[in-house]
A and B are shown apart, each in its own frame.
Chain A
Amino acid sequence: MKRRIIIAGVITLLLVFALALYAQRPTIDVSARWLIPAGAAWQVEVMIPSATPGDVAHAVIVNGLQRIETDLLLGTGGAAIWQIPEGTLTQAGQSLLMIHYDAYDVHHTLRVIPNDTTTANLFTSANAIPAYGEASATLMLLPRDEWGNAPPDGATFAVDVLFPDGSTVEQPLTYIQGIGWTTLRTQGEPGRVRIAIAGETLANTLEIWQVAGAPADVDLRLVDDCVLADGRDLIQLAAAVTDAFGNPVVDGTFVQFAWEDGLGYGATANGEATLRIPAPGTTGTVNYTASAAEVESNPVTLTISEEPCVQ
């Protein structure tokens, strides 16, 4: 019983001591606008009634990556004002203000909201994609205000897409946490696709190319199909390579030329690959073929004659 009384007495004493300490804790009143646009001037009013004029409170604000701090000289009634000039608190997000006085501190959060979006990087996952709706690219947008802040979630953006066939599509973007994106599917024939983003304070454009599909047809021809058997002529093979829609394939498509005892290679330019080789020196005929990807051409026949060819 006696022990319980002692324990209760000790606990009571500790509580009284804690309450006394708490009562001595200075009240730090802070008033300010807690929501400001990025870059705006800001003013914090600090009031510590128990402070003596001439005391100093330390103030810190962490805004984005920057930390700004100052010593506030407290005046009559423990009042002080911290004025932060325009163009200082530029980083959007939730900033933290801390006022430290006499081993005590208080924290407040300040919301800095982005300004109107003024610039945006617009880019795609591919600059050239197969046409006819056969492929798609991801279109991405990095919008920001004059201070480099991304708009908040919920911002809406739409891009206007002009396809080579003249049709236009307004493509909405998904926008989350600083990046907007959408999947852009090709439409119509090969050609230039113009993408534009426009707003009251924002404008940007981008161009990508819809290109022909994979080789579907190789049309081989001989520029001269008859040469003299004197071994002094050159023959020229020309292979026109088109996709399934009859459009010339993209430049640089690899073409292999083949004949009885030889191979040659070329790359397309404007849908055509050419090969110039010495003509055989023996009379007779030689068959040539050309292939691109898995597609092989019709054979063409060269006649090598002892007499001048009859046109």
Chain B
Amino acid sequence: MFSSRKARVKFLLFLVGVAVFALFVLAALALSGRFIAAFRQGADPASIFRGHSLIIPEVDEARWLAFDPNLDDLPKMAEQEEIIAAYWSAWEALGRAHLTGDVSDLSTYWGGAAYDNALSSIDPDRDLTQTHSEHKLRLVFYSPDRSVIAVEDENFTITQTTEATTLTLEATASVVMTNDQGVWRIRQMTLHYD
């Protein structure tokens, strides 16, 4: 009687041990898989050249309007993606700065007078959430050396929410961006709200 009970306890302990061991094996396999994948993936080569990722916005977030065929220079597809990604990221960085009060990211996407204006618009004591969408970029000028671009961002939407109010704004922006050592930055911006 006693020995059979002892054997049952031993068997139960064995079963628990097997279960715990199996869990350990599964966890080890999952972690080693991620470890190997991380090594195989390596660094993003583009990260050497720029401080931000190339995040191309969705069409309803930002898109190019058809180019005027009379313009002398037009951006190639890769350049269009690079520019619209930088423009989108600039607005995202501004939104983050409004939300967190941390302005360290602004200089990655904003430069010159536009940077000064973006920086002075941040009030760390105010809790402001800003979202933006429906950017439609119309090309005005693109320099032959691919270093300067002027665009008109037509009828995009900005929503600003504070404790007191929520404002939904329709705006048009005249924007000049420059390519500073591989990074596109907004250098000049004039906003018109409707």
Contact = CB atoms under 8 A, between A and B. Distances in A.
Interface of A: 58, 60, 62, 64-67, 69, 90-96, 98, 100, 109, 121, 125-126, 138, 140, 142, 144, 147-150, 176-179, 181
Smallest CB-CB A-B distances: 4 pairs: A148-B113, A125-B145, A96-B193, A177-B174
Interface string B32-67: 000000000000000000000000000000000000
Contacts of B25: none
Contact of A181 (B128, B143, B162, B190): B143
A65 B121 CA distance: 6
B188 A100 contact: no
Contact of A67 (B117, B128, B192): B128
B94 A69 contact: no
A69 B162 contact: yes
Contact of A64 (B117, B160, B165, B176): B117
Contacts of A98: 165, 167
Interface residues of B, number: 36
Nearest to B115: A148
A109 B194 CA distance: 7
A179 B150 contact: yes
5 contacts: A60-B165, A66-B120, A125-B147, A144-B188, A150-B190
Contact of A60 (B140, B167, B191): B167
A98 B192 CA distance: 15
Contacts of B128: 67
Interface of B: 94, 112-114, 116-118, 120-121, 128, 140-141, 143-145, 147-148, 150, 152, 160, 162, 164-165, 167, 169, 174-176, 187-194
Contacts of A179: 140-141, 148, 150, 176, 188
Contact of A91 (B141, B187, B191): B191
B141 A181 contact: yes
Contacts, number: 104
A218 B70 CA distance: 43
A58 B174 contact: no
A94 B193 contact: yes
A140 B148 contact: yes
Most B CB within 10 A of own CB, among A65, A138, A150: A65
A92 B141 CA distance: 21
Nearest to A63: B191
A148 B114 contact: yes
A180 B102 CA distance: 34
Contacts of A95: 193
B45 to A, nearest CB: 28
A239 to B, nearest CB: 32
A24 to B, nearest CB: 22
Contacts of A60: 165, 167
A47 to B, nearest CB: 21
Contact of A66 (B113, B117, B169, B176): B117
Given A125-B143, A148-B112, A148-B116, A69 B150 contact: no
Contacts of A176: 140-141, 150
Nearest to A136: B144
A65 B191 contact: yes
B174 A67 contact: no
Contacts of A121: 112
A177 B165 contact: no
A96 B188 CA distance: 20
B113 A94 contact: no
